[in-house]
Amino acid sequence: MNTKQRVLTALLADGDTWHSGDSLASELGLSRESVWKAINALRKAGHDIAARKSQGYRYVSCAHLDDMVIAYHLQHELPLTVEKTVTSTQDVAKKWLATQTELTPAAFVADAQTNGYGRRGRQFYSPAQSGLYLSVVIPNPQADLTQVGLLTTGVATAVVAALREFFPTADFGLKWVNDVMIHERKVAGILCEAVLALESSTSAAFVIGVGLNLDTAQFPDALKQVAGAISDTPIDRNALAASLIDHIMQRAKDYQAGDFLPAYRKLSTVIGRQVTVKIGEQVLIGKVLDIAENGGLELLTDQGLQTITAGEVVKVDVKA
């Protein structure tokens, strides 16, 4: 770590504690002037660091997304890229994958996306400062796609678990397969894409994208009736980004066991309700009885019980 990173880490480690310039210099083996220069550089980079005579310095917050702060909060070690604006974090992650000879997990975070997208290529509204957009690369060394339904549903519960750490009173729900809802409005989208190995046409890795409407106040007209924000209370986006990455990484290790399915069922907003499901050009209407053991949708239609493993719930009837 360079001097600036070392000073930042020391301040973050005791965020509520005041640190004198002398104590920081002694702890880090630096001159007091080096500490002062590092703190000034951090402030210029957007870090809010308070200073008091006779008490020293205290880290307050960072309004922008910062790779050093996210890395500090991360429990997993992995390559991390943080950008102000990208086309989409999925695009950035897949371009990175194309340059790698050995696959490793990696994370990509952005403050805004100019061409964020979700299922079926639909645009995901991604304004700066009021949302959070990230993608995580998960290697798939066994090239196994048989449990991809469990990966998608598993990641959805992992995302909600991370969100609950920051929004403990929010009433999160999951609309199959991977829309995070609050009061019938979509507040987050999750996209799991398989990247194929050209030599074998098997899945070399998964790229998992997450887009959050944190405190977005205004939406385009086409989204005003279906999208919403999680809360109007500001939270630490850097800490949330780290938590999301950690939860997704952990779920990638154990999703095939399906132990999260009871939690997914509790969060489901469609079980017991009449829904319309679109699978390509096919449209099915029926009552959702359960979430299957493979993560599919158990749908009772006029033709009988079907387990749907692909497609999208495009309409959910109002609760009785």
- Residues 131, 248, 191, 177, CA torsion sign: negative
DSSP secondary structure string for all residues of 11-61: HHHTTTS-B-HHHHHHHHT--HHHHHHHHHHHHHTTEEEEEETTTEEEEEE
Structure tokens at 212: 């959050």
User: Is-cis flag, bond preceding 177, omega within 30?
Assistant: yes
Check the annotation: does 186 bind a ligand.
yes
User: Residue 151 and residue 64: Cα distance in Å, rounded?
Assistant: 30
Which has the closest alpha carbon to 269: 147, 163, 167, 187? 187
Element (DSSP H or E) covering residue 185: strand 185-197
Tell me how crowded residue 140 is: count the other CB atoms within 10 A of its CB: 19
Question: Residue 99 carries which DSSP code?
Answer: T
206 neighbors 194 (Cβ within 8 angstroms): yes
Tell me how crowded residue 99 is: count the other CB atoms within 10 A of its CB: 6
Total number of residues shown for the chain: 320
Tell me how crowded residue 81 is: count the other CB atoms within 10 A of its CB: 17
Straight-line distance from the first to the last Cα atom of the chain, in angstroms, rounded to the nearest whole number = 58
Dihedral pair phi/psi, residue 9, rounded to 5°: -60, -40
User: Residue 88 and residue 98: Cα distance in Å, rounded?
Assistant: 16
125 neighbors 220 (Cβ within 8 angstroms): yes
Residues annotated in a binding site for biotin: 113, 186
Residues annotated in a binding site: 113, 186
